[in-house]
Every structure is written in C-alpha cells, then in structure tokens.
Structure 1
Amino acid sequence: MADRFFGWQVVWAAFALASFAWGIGFYGPGVWLHALAGGRGWSVAAVSGAITLHFLASALLVARLPAVQARLGLVAMLRAGLVLSAGGAVAWAAAPAPAWLVPAALLTGAGWAMTSGAAINAIVSRWFDRRRPAALAMAYNGASMGGIVFVPLWAALIGGIGFLPAAIAIGAIGMAVLWPVVGRWFAPDPAMLGQHADGAAAPPAPRAAAGVAGSLWSQPGFRSLSMAFALGMVGQMGLLSQVYSLMTPALGVAGAGWAVSLATVCAVLGRTAVGWLLPSGASRRGAAALNFLVQAAGSVALLAAGGTSAPLLVLACVLFGLGLGNLLSLPPLIAQAEWPAAQVGAVVALITAVNQAFYAFAPAIFGLLREVGGDWTVGAAALVLQLAAAAVLRGRR
C-alpha cells in the first residue's frame, strides 16, 4: 500500500476542475449577458433565454450522467466536458446573431453537466466514505473560487481584448491545465493503488441504508429531498440575480460588489464548517433544514434593511452567504446516508437535474416579481421559499 493516501490529492484536483467548471458554466453566462447585450446591443430577453436554455440542457443531460460515465468512463467524460465547455464559450463569443446562441448554449450546457456538481461527487465519492463531508466541502469550494477568480477575469479580459479573444484564452488555458490533471488524478481508483476509502487499512463496513424498490420518483424520501433543494435553489438563484442592484443605492457600486464578494467568502466558510464539524451521527436533513433557516434569517435582514440600512444589508449577505455553498454539498451527503452506495450517483445526478431545471427560471421570476411588486418582493419571495424548503425536509425523511 502506498504510504500516502492519494484521495486528498484527488480532492485538490477536483477543486481545480470545479473552479473552471463554475467559472464557465455557472458564473460565465452572467458576464456574457452584459458583453452581448451591452457591447453588441442584443436583446436582454434573447440572451437571457439562451442562458435559461444552457441550464435546461444541462439538467436533461445530468440526469443521465451515471449512464454517460458508465459508457465513456470517468476520464473520457470529464475531458469531453472540458472540450464542450471551452468550445461552447468560444461559440457564445463568436455568435454573429442571437439565434446562434442556441447551439452555443447546448454546447456549454452539455459541458456544464459533465464537469459540475454530480461529476465532482462521482470523483470524490470513490475515495471517501466516513470523511466524505470534509472532502466534498473542500472540492466544492472550487465552485466558490470559480466565482472569485473567473468573474473579474472574464470582465477584465473582455474589456481589454474583446469577448472572442477572452473566450479563446480562458478555454485554451483551462484545457492546457486540466486535460493532464484529469488523466493523472482521476484515472486511478483506490483499488488500483492498493488503498481503501479514507485511507483506512480496510474497506469501510457497508452502510445500513437499504434503499427502496422502484424508481427514485416513487420514493417519498427522494421526492421530499429533491423538492426541498429545488425550492431552496430557486430562492438562492433568484436572490443572487437581484441582490447586487438592490444594495447599490445604499452601498454604492463598489460597496455592493464587496458585499457580494463577502457572501462568496462566507459560502466557503459555511461549507467548510459543515464539512469538517458535522458529527458523524447527526441528521444531515436536520443540518440542511438549519442551513435554510440561516438563509431565511438573511432574507429577514434584507427585508428589514429596506434598501437603506447598510449594516443590515451586510448582515444579510453574511447570513445568506453562510448557507450558500451548502446547497451544493449537502444533497450528496444526505444521499450517502439514505441510499445504498450503488444508488448514490443516480440520486445525486437526478437531484442536480431537478435543481437546475427549476433554478433556470429563477432570475426571470424574481425580476418579474420585483418589477410588479417592488424591491421588497425579492426578500419576501426568498424567505417563503427557504422556509418551505426547511419545512419539507423536516416533514418527511
């Protein structure tokens, strides 16, 4: 057996992959919207529609991700995702008219499906069992790093050299760095290196979870889990799409930007704390419900701020941010506790697909609410969704 456990190296490689995946597939479209609508004068509605298509296409594919992985193998699937993501970003930038965003969105949607949440879980879960909460937290922190690094990087490069050269540069660098990383760190599994999950001396004992016969949709536990996180993700994505402009009058442009960055930093802190401090015997659904309640407290602070109180707006960002990252990392941990190991990949993939299918419409829904009812509706809608998500989780296991 090798002296050093290889799994933690895999986690850091997954962190790097997540940074690139979220930098293009999650945070990229928001920057591209500004570049295409502001720089080329294209319709905001047309570009926003392409962004929705990007997430819906990803949702359709990610539901089948375990089958894709079984057919292609993990390494080939991840490398295909890198090619599709990088090529798709170039297609967005090179589009001569809004209609060309449709094939571009299909490309980036497929790339996002093959490299994002369900794929990261597939990478890490082979190497960790008991310590999977901590390992997933570290790997998924790459998603937050993608926002911290890639949003200003996209903005700077687009402003400096143009959208198409920026897309070519980011895609090429990502491919050059991550193509060998995928082969070096994701091709081996513990058995190939004579190791066991968590670096233990023996394989972990099988978990007691027995699963339920029939399709996942026929299982009440799966329906409640997917519904809760779909509601929570709609609230989270809707709030994220509006919070910057809501805070600008009180904090200014720079201050609002720093507040959003603070929320991202708090997401890393919150995810890391749950990953490392969650007791092994604790209810993971209970932890998720508490996470939604922390975010709900942030929505209450946003409502109380009324768009004018800077301290309350900052507090809202802190509370909302502390729960931000856990909406990504907690579903795989709940699935690990409640389903047999052979079913966990399918559970995570389908929950990810449901989440993406729902939150693809969140920016449009929250924007319409704000336009019709005023700024206060953003915090109110997020609060209702967060409380509903917590109630669904606590109501049925």
Structure 2
Amino acid sequence: MTAEFHGWRVVGAAFLLAVFAWGIGFYGPGIYIATLAAGRGWPVALLSAAITWHFLVSAALVAQLPEWHRRWGIAGVTRAGLLASAAGLLTWGFGHQPWLAFGAASLTGMGWALTSGAAINAMLSPWFERRRPAALAMAYNGASMGGILMTPLWAWLIAGWGFGTATLVVAALLLAVVWPLAGRLGRGPETFGQFADGAAAPPPSRAEAPARGRAALLRDAGFRSLCLAFAIGLFAQMGLVTHLVSLLVPALGVQGAGLAMAMVTVFALLGRSLTGLVLPGGRRRRWAAAATFLVQLAGSAALIAADGGVALLLLGCALFGVGVGNLLSLPPLIAQAEFPAAEVGRVVALMQAINQAFYAFAPALFGLFREAASAEAALWATLALQGLAAVLVLRR
C-alpha cells in the first residue's frame, strides 16, 4: 500500500506559518502605528521610521537565510524566527519609551525575515518540482488569510483588553500553534522515503555547476532584470496598499473602505490560486508576471478614472488585488524555471532582500508625493512604475 504523500501536510503547516508571519510582520505594522500613536501619543513620524527599520532589518537578514538553513536546519531557524517575533510583539506591547519602537522593530524584522516568503519557498522546494506552482500558491494563501483573520483579531483584542495584552495573546498563539509544526516544516521527503511530487522514483540525476554566490548572481543579467522588475512592482504595490484606505474613505466612508480592502485581499487569494493552477512552465512565466503588472496597472487606471464613482473604485480594487497575490508567489516560480535547483534558494532570498530594501521606503515616499502634488499624481506615478515593471520583467 502506497504511503500518503506527506508534502501536502507540509503545505498545510506552511499555510499556518504564513497566517501568523503576515499577520505580525506585514499587516501588523499598520496596527502598531495606529495604536501607539493614539494610545501613547508617540509621534507618527517616529513610528513610521521604526516600521521602515523593521523591513530594512529583514532585508539585511533574509539574504543569509540559505546559509543559516544549511548550518542550523530549517526547523531551528524557523523556531528562532518565532521567538524573535514573539519577543518583538511583547516589546511593542509593553515598551513605554518611544525609542523602544526600534528595538521592537529589530526583533519583528528578524522574525519576518526567518518566517516569510523565502523561508516558505525553502520549506516546499524539496517536496515539489512539477507541482510547485500549486503548492506555493496554497501555502502563500496563508498570507492573504493573515490579513483576513489576524487584522480583525488584533482589533478585537485591542478593543477588549488593550494593546499590551493583545500582543501577549498573539505571541502565545504563535508559539502554541506554529512551534510544534516547525519540525514538520524542516523535514524533506527523504525522511519519509518519498520523492518530490509524490513520485514513485527519484527524478533522473543531472550534473549541475556549483551554486554561485551572491556577487555572481548580481552580475547575472537574468537575475538583475527579474529582481529590478519585482522591486519596482512591489514598491508601487506597497506604496498604494498603505494609502489605499485613505484614498477610498472620501467616496466609500470608513466602513466601505474597510470592505474594499477586504475585497483586495480576497482577490489576491483568488488570483494567486488561479495562477498556481494554470501557470505555464519555462521562460513563459515571465509573461505571466508581465500580465500581472499590467492587471495592476489597469487597477490603478480605474482608480484614477473613478473620480468618486463607486463602481470604478471597486473594479480598481479588484484588479489591484489580483496582482497583490501574484507578486508574492511568482518570483520563486520564475527562479525555479530559470536557475539551477542548487541556486534557487539563494536567488529567492537575495531577491526578497533587495525587494524589501526598496519597498521599505514606499509608504513614506508615496505619502510625500501625495502631499507635494496630489493623490491623483501619486496614482499616476504608481501606474507608471507598474508599466515599467511589466517591460523590465520581459528583458533578459
């Protein structure tokens, strides 16, 4: 009797990890800023700088992830990330001096680096080759669920028990739920006598050149075009998603803007799932990336043309949301198609580091552009960046 393929259990564990990783490290920062500015009177500028530091710390650390995985194992590194995230949450929740925001950001930035996109790709790569697009899409859907589930949980906990207790509860849930799963995430198919994709035999071995280091990858034209395209696309996405609620409130009201943001998250999940099922192989994956950037460009165009019209605003949110999911899952899948297997983990980690270093400054620069020109001008700038990303991703 054939043993059940264990890879899909790893996908389920990675999904739960993503729920917490994005709920704490991606969606959480906006909650930290709003709560601490209102509740403790800490300056918004200082808190925004701390959040930028959060992403810069992550960018500096995530490039080291493949080496740390080889030295200490995926399970050990993931558990270190869980501890860093929990400690950072408690520092955010119980620190009573504004300067402690940077200490908290350092810890949550470390946790975000060790538990987010590059880490999840490393967990699933040994288990899936042919079916990796579907597996990554399912696991990364946990990121969308992190927004759908964790944001209301944060709001409920803070309203009922205060910010400090909320961080304590979320930290406890993180360790209770994900810590036991880390062992499962750190094991490959050979542990169970299985092979990638549940195949009955290992794939034919093929000789490959030794994996290149980061300096050599940075000289690779294919890597540079891929990395630059997604850095620009994610910069545009991060700037817009941070300010989208405030852009929608005048036409939709606070409650309507919140529902529109929920729709963005739902379409991110749908877009990523559909792409995971139909994504082509080989170099054609770059065309899928270009199409994603163009769909987001169409969403920005709809937001510009809406002029307060509800239908076009919602259409813009839906189109923008489709790209939100794919910009997370497509880079590792393109790397899988274009780079030797031994290099994929390093390529994904280095790309994530560079991308985060770019988009860490996006919310502040988008806001400055809004203030210096107008919201419409900021949307036009976003549209231009999305078009540029679509062109660059097709260049090799």
Structure 1-normalised TM-score? Answer: 0.96
> Which amino acid in the other structure matches residue 289 of structure 1?
A
**Which has the larger displacement, 196-205 or 318-327?**
196-205
> Which amino acid in the other structure matches residue 169 of structure 1?
V
User: Matches of 1:356 and 1:212 in 2, distance apart?
Assistant: 23
Instruction: Map Cα deviations across residues 11-35 of structure 1 (whole Å, 9 max, x no partner).
Output: 0110000000011011111001001
User: Matches of 1:326 and 1:207 in 2, distance apart?
Assistant: 30
Partner of 2:6: 6
Secondary structure class of the residue paired with 1:325 = helix
> Are residue 375 (structure 1) and residue 381 (structure 2) matched?
no
Please provide the CA RMSD for this pair: 1.5
Alpha-carbon shift at residue 282 of structure 1 (Å): 6.3
Partner of 1:43: 43
The 1:282/1:63 distance shift into structure 2, 3 A limit, reads closer
User: Matches of 2:392 and 2:208 in 1, distance apart?
Assistant: 21
Secondary structure class of the residue paired with 2:200 = coil
The 5 Å alignment of 1:62-141 reads 62-141=62-141
> Are residue 193 (structure 1) and residue 173 (structure 2) matched?
no
The 1:210/1:297 distance shift into structure 2, 3 A limit, reads farther
Secondary structure class of the residue paired with 2:130 = coil
Partner of 1:217: 218
The 5 Å alignment of 1:344-355 reads 344-355=344-355
The 1:62/1:40 distance shift into structure 2, 3 A limit, reads same
> Which amino acid in the other structure matches residue 42 of structure 1?
W
The 1:205/1:130 distance shift into structure 2, 3 A limit, reads farther
Q: Which runs of 5+ in 1 are unaligned?
A: none
Partner of 1:293: 294
Between the two proteins, what is the percent identity of the paired residues? Answer: 58
Alpha-carbon shift at residue 211 of structure 1 (Å): 9.0
Secondary structure class of the residue paired with 2:356 = helix
Alpha-carbon shift at residue 178 of structure 1 (Å): 1.0
Instruction: Map Cα deviations across residues 371-395 of structure 1 (whole Å, 9 max, x no partner).
Output: 111110231111011001001012x
Instruction: Map Cα deviations across residues 323-370 of structure 1 (whole Å, 9 max, x no partner).
Output: 111111000001001110000000000000011101100000100111
The 1:130/1:371 distance shift into structure 2, 3 A limit, reads same
User: Matches of 1:19 and 1:332 in 2, distance apart?
Assistant: 19
Partner of 1:159: 159
Alpha-carbon shift at residue 202 of structure 1 (Å): 1.7
> Which amino acid in the other structure matches residue 366 of structure 1?
F
User: Matches of 2:189 and 2:154 in 1, distance apart?
Assistant: 37
The 1:332/1:208 distance shift into structure 2, 3 A limit, reads farther
Instruction: Map Cα deviations across residues 293-317 of structure 1 (whole Å, 9 max, x no partner).
Output: 00000000011012x1111000000
> Which amino acid in the other structure matches residue 364 of structure 2?
A
The answer (yes or no) to whether the contact 1:133–1:276 under 8 Å persists in 2 is yes
The 1:359/1:208 distance shift into structure 2, 3 A limit, reads farther
Secondary structure class of the residue paired with 2:202 = coil
Alpha-carbon shift at residue 281 of structure 1 (Å): 5.1
> Which amino acid in the other structure matches residue 192 of structure 1?
T
Instruction: Map Cα deviations across residues 233-270 of structure 1 (whole Å, 9 max, x no partner).
Output: 00000000111111111111111111110010000000
Alpha-carbon shift at residue 287 of structure 1 (Å): 0.5
Alpha-carbon shift at residue 86 of structure 1 (Å): 1.1
Instruction: Map Cα deviations across residues 129-181 of structure 1 (whole Å, 9 max, x no partner).
Output: 00000000000000000011111111111121011111001100110111111
User: Matches of 1:329 and 1:64 in 2, distance apart?
Assistant: 20
Instruction: Map Cα deviations across residues 56-96 of structure 1 (whole Å, 9 max, x no partner).
Output: 00000001111111121110100110110011011011111
